[in-house]
Structure 1
Amino acid sequence: MKNRYLPTALSLYLNYIIHGIGVVIISQHRDQLGLQWGADAAAVMNVVSMLGIGRLIAILISGRLSDMFGRKPFVMLGAATYILYFLGLIYSPNTLVAMILTVLAGIANSFLDSGTYPALMESFPEQAGTANVLIKAAVQIGQFILPFIIIAASAMGFWQLAFWIAAVVLFLNMFLIWKLPFPDADAKEDAEKGEAKEAVVSAVTFKSQPKIWLEGVAFIIYGFISQATFYLISQYISVYGQKAAGMTEAASKLLLSSYSTGSLLCVAFTAIVGLKLRSVNLVLVYTFMSLVSIASMWLFPSPFVVQVGTAAVGFFAAGGVMQLGLTVMGEMFPAGKGTITGIFYTFGSIASYAVPNLIAMTEKTSVHNVMLLDTVFAAIGFVIAIIVYIRYHQTVDTSKK
């Protein structure tokens, strides 16, 4: 609590509350936006897929540039670009304009990631896993409150309400971020004064060096799989609940809040146990339970199973396992943190692009097959988690925490 970067962290987390809204705001307004654009549901999901394209364009290079030029500029740039996305969607006349705006949102997400993750790891080096997982909490808070904003907007007859709220909050938060300190900027200032402190290169001690062709490739695949597993649920669970489980439209819309609640509970749990357990251990357990939860919803699509399964997926798949995976990668490959973030999330970006398109294609064959697809993702993720777990304990001296 005495850390001078705590206000900075809180402001960074606020950005991710809005980012959580931004990720699902199109799919949660697909009827209204589809009518505005003259597009069907498949075309709307194609617009959503452009988020992944935007991230692919920017995440790798922005991570590298963040190492070179600092964290704050990229956080500011990400917030400003997101504002353009939210306001632009309100007035977008067709899917082409919407796609361009959604690409910008993906770029904005990349800017935020390349500035925020390194800034938090540098601000809280001894609790990097917990600090990164709290980003997921912020995302889920946004996705938790969005359905209630939508319900209020419907009652008011003003469906654009969520877009305006998101833009205004980001605008105000930019002024806070501008004034707040960042650790990399402070370190640069100390160096100029001749007061630089020795940097902590790695939080772990190695018995042998990890292999980029094995662990590195495994992390790259995990970056894709972990994103795909929970992203499919966040984008499609409302439709699946209604069409596969026979839930009412109102009940199916609230599934996203159950998913977010599960994620928030996991963040609270991880923030506590993560101080005592290594992140790699949590990754293995969470990934296995994600597989069990998703497979259950595929095999037994009843309202009760979908309700419980959605909350369980929120807990085990969307509660920060991707951030924990990034933390483990940072431990095993302690190079420039911005660059590592860029590499890991580049493949998460590919998933953000691929999943909505896969949903659109798979839904044409069967609604149930969409959940089967996610079951396959979760199974692959569990295999990768086993590989990472084994190699971590072979290369890292686990006698030291």
Structure 2
Amino acid sequence: MGENIRMAASLYINYILLGMINLIIALHMGFLTVQFDTDAAAISMLISAIGIGKLFGLSFAGKLSDSLGRKPMVITAGILYVIFLIAVPFSPTYGIAFAFALLAGMGNSILDTSTYPALIEGFPKRASSATVLVKAFMSIGATILPLMITFFIAKELFYGYTFFIMAFVFLINAVHLTTVKFPKANMVVVEPGTDNNGENKKKAEPHFAVKPRFWREGVTVIFIGFTSVSLFMIIQTWMATFAEEIIGMDESTAINLLSYYSFGGFITVILLATMLDRVFRPVTILILYPLIAIAALSALLFVTNYYVLVVIAFILGLCTSGLFQLAVTLMAEFFPGRKGTSTAFVTLSSSIAFIVIPSLTGLINRHIGVTYIFLFEIAVAVVAMALAVFVSVRYRKIFNITTRKRVLWRNP
């Protein structure tokens, strides 16, 4: 168990940094538009490039994670991020920066398809808690980054220092991971009656009352993955812009709203990690959180008071964080035999969101206005809630919840 905790600590450090990377392009939009002599819509396409890279990486990342193991893939992802973080501030042209953003997207796919299965295998009895903590550490990173940026702005220092600090931590953590032991990928159990050599083994599977189907449950969870990423991605990318253009805040104050948003995300995933396997049914969270988001987003469109906006940002952080991690764990529970591959399918949805959402919202901002981006987000939240209602009904049938009293997320 001690070695698993050491592994988890290093994996969570990577996700602190990933939480910063998810914001780093959007929060440096002003610097990058000057560096590449372009506009905000073009810089948002750099975020889309990360999604394109993720999509390409998914063609091999899940399979390699299952065949080569989690450890070498996690280390590879860290090295790819080091290259990205060092290269972007020195990129002389937009095209070169775009290419390195593609590389970062590949690293994201490799990291997701190796980290989530490793956590599920390392902590099988608390898999949902272990995976949702990923979002907690991403929220820590997303809280730290705006503070770093405002510090460098105040000191009039080169914006690239933020990138270089993150690259250094990624590199140190990758070196440390070479000394860490990971659990065996897709662990097996010995069936009763087998000999001591364990010749008759098969992968552990829950007892399904109705066998889950990929075209039904699998596809639904994939769409939940898409909507969950879309919800937090729109806020992270455009809340600061909305606060500046519509409400009239200065740049530093607008950016700091994202710290409150990220702090809300951190609080909610700590609560989820503590209570998921004991009190709450995660599918209920997948229904409830988008409903709260709809209310908070509606209020955002009509409020101009700074302190009320802080509260709204915090609530949005509470109700849009951890949903993707719940989708990943749910997919692994429906299809437990190949966790790396099943994780890759949900990660596929996030890569599509990384491609589609920045491009689409960038166009909305360019041709209609930033307010309509948040109207679009309300529509996404409605779809997310409807998908969660459907998968909740299917989950109850598959695991026969109507006749067996147990926590929804717990393995039968």
TM-score range relative to shorter protein? over 0.9
Where do 5+ consecutive residues of structure 2 fail to align?
Answer: 189-195
The 3-state SS of whatever aligns with 1:183 is: coil
1:227 to 204, 216, 229: 229
Tell whether the 8 Å contact from 1:241 to 1:303 is kept in structure 2 after alignment: no
Aligned to 1:216: 218
Q: Deviations over 1:235-277 (max 9, x none)?
A: 1110111222333322211011011100000011101111213
Tell whether the 8 Å contact from 1:245 to 1:306 is kept in structure 2 after alignment: no
Where do 5+ consecutive residues of structure 1 fail to align?
Answer: none
2:319 to 288, 312, 316: 316
The verdict on how the C-alpha distance between 1:292 and 1:199 changes in structure 2, with shifts beyond 3 A counting, is: farther
Aligned to 2:192: none
Shift of 1:199: 6.9
TM-score (norm 2): 0.91
1:369 aligns with 2:368: no
Aligned to 1:133: 132
Instruction: Please report the RMSD computed on the Cα atoms of aligned residues, expressed in angstroms.
Output: 2.2
Shift of 1:183: 0.1
Q: How does 1:7-46 map to 2 (within 5 A)?
A: 7-46=6-45
1:288 to 287, 291, 301: 291
1:247 aligns with 2:260: no
- Cα distance in 1, alignment partners of residues 131 and 200 from structure 2: 24
Shift of 1:126: 0.6
Number of aligned positions between the proteins: 395
1:343 to 337, 340, 345: 345
- Cα distance in 1, alignment partners of residues 184 and 202 from structure 2: 11
- Cα distance in 2, alignment partners of residues 313 and 197 from structure 1: 50
Tell whether the 8 Å contact from 1:20 to 1:142 is kept in structure 2 after alignment: yes
- Cα distance in 2, alignment partners of residues 176 and 261 from structure 1: 28
The verdict on how the C-alpha distance between 1:248 and 1:66 changes in structure 2, with shifts beyond 3 A counting, is: same
1:167 aligns with 2:170: no
- Cα distance in 2, alignment partners of residues 212 and 82 from structure 1: 32
- Cα distance in 1, alignment partners of residues 35 and 83 from structure 2: 18
Q: Could you tell me the percent identity over the aligned residues?
A: 32
Aligned to 1:117: 116
Q: Deviations over 1:90-136 (max 9, x none)?
A: 10011101100101111011111111011000000011111111111
- Cα distance in 1, alignment partners of residues 85 and 101 from structure 2: 9
Structure 1 runs (4+) deviating above 4 angstroms are 185-188, 193-200, 299-302
Aligned to 2:154: 155
Aligned AA for 2:209?
Answer: K
The verdict on how the C-alpha distance between 1:351 and 1:244 changes in structure 2, with shifts beyond 3 A counting, is: same
The 3-state SS of whatever aligns with 1:180 is: coil
Tell whether the 8 Å contact from 2:91 to 2:97 is kept in structure 1 after alignment: yes
Aligned AA for 2:183?
Answer: P
- Cα distance in 2, alignment partners of residues 168 and 198 from structure 1: 43
Aligned to 1:180: 180
- Cα distance in 2, alignment partners of residues 194 and 44 from structure 1: 57
Tell whether the 8 Å contact from 1:279 to 1:325 is kept in structure 2 after alignment: no
Aligned to 1:306: 309
The 3-state SS of whatever aligns with 1:5 is: helix
